[in-house]
A and B are shown apart, each in its own frame.
Chain A
Amino acid sequence: MFLAIKEMLHEKLRYSLIVALIFLVSYLLIILTGLATGLANLNKAAINEWDASSIVLNSDSEGRLQQSFLSQDEVASLPNNGTRISQYSTLVKSENGLKENTQLVGLDSKSFIFKKLKITSGSKNIRNNAGVVSDKFKSDGFQIGDHLLVANSSLRIKITGFTPRATLSALPVVYISPDTIQPLNKGVTNAVVFRNKLKNSKIPKGTNQLSISSFIKKLPGYSAQQLTFDFMIAFLYIIILIVISIFLYILTVQKLPNLGVLKAQGVSTQYLILSTLFQSFIISVIGVIIAIILGEITAITLPSEVPIVIDKSNIIVTGIGIIIMSLLGALIPIRQIAKVDPYKIIGG
């Protein structure tokens, strides 16, 4: 790849401009992917932590927890290894004036979901109006032992522990016992969550079983939000493809006479094509690496209210995606290289 490296080193400005463009688009891509992941996590993090496979809801609920009400008969006819979920959205306040919109989730302390919950500090206790709360409360100033005063009710929930990644529909979750939530939602069970998928014969009439991934897609606003991000991300990939194609095309057109002469002198088409692919690979790798570094710095510097998550898997997928787009972008210039006829260059 002698020719490719020498050209890039000699034409620093040209290739730096391409790298800068790839960096800018890649940076935007990484930030958008990070925001898409962060917002998705805000919606579904708690559900992912449940580590469940399926959820049974009322058939008329359109897959939405808040709209689902299961009768006692329906709950009783389901297998008893599921976790009964009662949900109630409300505002809670601390005694020293802190406020937080929240999702109260009632479940049994012997349920598999509760057993799986991790604790970052405090203890895992939801007896006697105690609650294990999302660690978002902690970052907002709440402490172990604080009491959460539930709006429009006399209920006081004592914080006993903080649990990580506990957000549902972009609100932090407070896990409490069925007894504690009972006065708020009149003992209604909204859904039953199972570790495994149930056979259809075990699903009572009037209820519907959804996979957890389908349930997440039906969270209010979730699919619309993710689709919007997906479109923006897809367009950015296309932009990278076009930018690389145009730049490499122009550079190739400018050096076609030299390429023709090189071919005449015995340089194989394969060598010239590999040189172009190598250049495309190198400039995209440099652009992506700079974008990743600056993306990470941005994610650290942004205020915690911005839900951005730049994780390894996203970086790997985005990086590989950009590099593939860059290599695809080199296809048009490669076609030109393959077609250049030394005879036409020499013959004029």
Chain B
Amino acid sequence: MSNLIFESVTKVFGEGSSKYVALENINFKAESGQLILVVGPSGSGKTTFLTIAGGLQTPTEGDVKINDSTIKSLSEKQQTKLRLEKIGFVLQSYNLVPFLTVEEQFKLVDKLKKQNLTEQKMHELLSDLGLLELLKKYPNQLSGGQKQRVAIARALYTDPDYILADEPTAALDTDRSMKVIELLRDLAHKRNKIIIVVTHDLRLKNTADKVYQIIDGKMQMIN
């Protein structure tokens, strides 16, 4: 059973007159099998929350724990390894390497993890997400929805404990947005993953297991 815990996390940028509190005393816990939505207006601290959860930033105060181990106690190399093996990122854009085909996006993961291509696993994932026919396509040959689904498949390929998604539906229309979010919810439930989606799109909030809102760096559960 995986978990992600924020313990009294505060993140401050700058100092003196330019001091800015992006997150203030955040306490948060996510467990396997949950799709969690973090909503809030632009500049509220959503992305800061996501990057701290992904080990890309360290909190000014407090701790972030993944499976009960503190991220900031890890070396930079260990954090890189953690992101490669335990965390999947799905972003609004630039998810896929533009000069790699869909198949090669997965091969890159294999090369980085120094493992042989597990074709069966890749085919299974792509088949589940309805992407099998796109294996030889480059990202610029895919639609926005297809790109996001490939990004999700790629994020799942390492079998991470949790997936962090930053505005994954921002570039999609309502229909495709709902499909992507439903896909993420299914993955959380069926594959027992923690999936945290940061978005400003309130239309999605009924699809999540839990919904948190961040306003001016303060977080509260609203659903």
Contact = CB atoms under 8 A, between A and B. Distances in A.
Contacts of A10: 99-100, 138
Interface string B74-113: 0001001111110111010111011110001001100110
Interface stretch (B33-41, B47-55, B187-195): B47-55
A343 B51 contact: yes
A162 B61 CA distance: 88
Contacts of B77: 268
Given A6-B104, A262-B97, A268 B56 contact: no
Contact of A346 (B82, B85, B166): B166
Nearest to A260: B94
Interface string A241-274: 0000000000000010110111111111101000
B94 A258 contact: yes
B127 interface: no
B51 A266 contact: no
B108 A268 contact: no
A271 B77 CA distance: 12
B220 interface: no
B112 A266 contact: yes
Contacts of B104: 6
Interface string A1-36: 011001101110000000000000000000000000
Interface in B104-135: 104, 107-108, 111-112
A324 B47 CA distance: 42
Contacts of B141: none
A320 interface: no
A11 B99 CA distance: 8
Contacts of A271: 112
Contact of B108 (A2, A11, A255, A264): A2
Interface residues of A, number: 27
B99 A266 contact: no
Contacts of A2: 107-108, 111
Given A271-B112, A343-B57, A346-B56, A264 B83 contact: yes
A271 B108 CA distance: 11
Nearest to B85: A266
B97 A346 contact: no
Contact of A6 (B54, B94, B99): B99
B80 A268 contact: yes
A267 B99 contact: no
Contacts of A141: none
A347 interface: yes
Interface in A109-152: none
A6 B83 contact: no
B108 A257 contact: no
A261 B90 CA distance: 9
Nearest to B42: A348
A347 B13 CA distance: 13
Among B85, B99, B104, chain A packs the most CB atoms within 10 A around the CB of B99
A164 interface: no
Contacts of B100: 3, 6, 10
B154 to A, nearest CB: 8
A120 B95 CA distance: 70
A3 B83 contact: no
Contact of B97 (A258, A260, A345): A258
Given A6-B99, A10-B99, A266 B56 contact: no
Nearest to B97: A258
A307 interface: no
Interface string B147-174: 0000000010010000000100000000
A342 interface: yes
Given A261-B95, A342-B56, A347 B51 contact: yes
A265 B84 contact: yes
B220 to A, nearest CB: 22
Contacts of B51: 342-343, 346-347
A120 B102 CA distance: 66
B178 to A, nearest CB: 24
Contacts of B94: 257-258, 260-261, 345
Contacts of B112: 266-267, 271
A347 B48 contact: yes
A268 to B, nearest CB: 5
Interface of A: 2-3, 6-7, 9-11, 255, 257-258, 260-269, 271, 342-343, 345-348
24 contacts: A3-B97, A6-B104, A7-B99, A9-B99, A10-B100, A257-B93, A260-B94, A261-B91, A261-B94, A264-B56, A264-B83, A264-B89, A265-B84, A266-B82, A266-B83, A266-B85, A266-B87, A266-B158, A267-B84, A267-B108, A269-B80, A343-B57, A346-B50, A346-B89
Q: Enumerate the 4 nearest inter-chain pairs by beta-carbon distance, A residue then B residue, closest first.
A: A266-B84, A10-B99, A266-B83, A257-B94
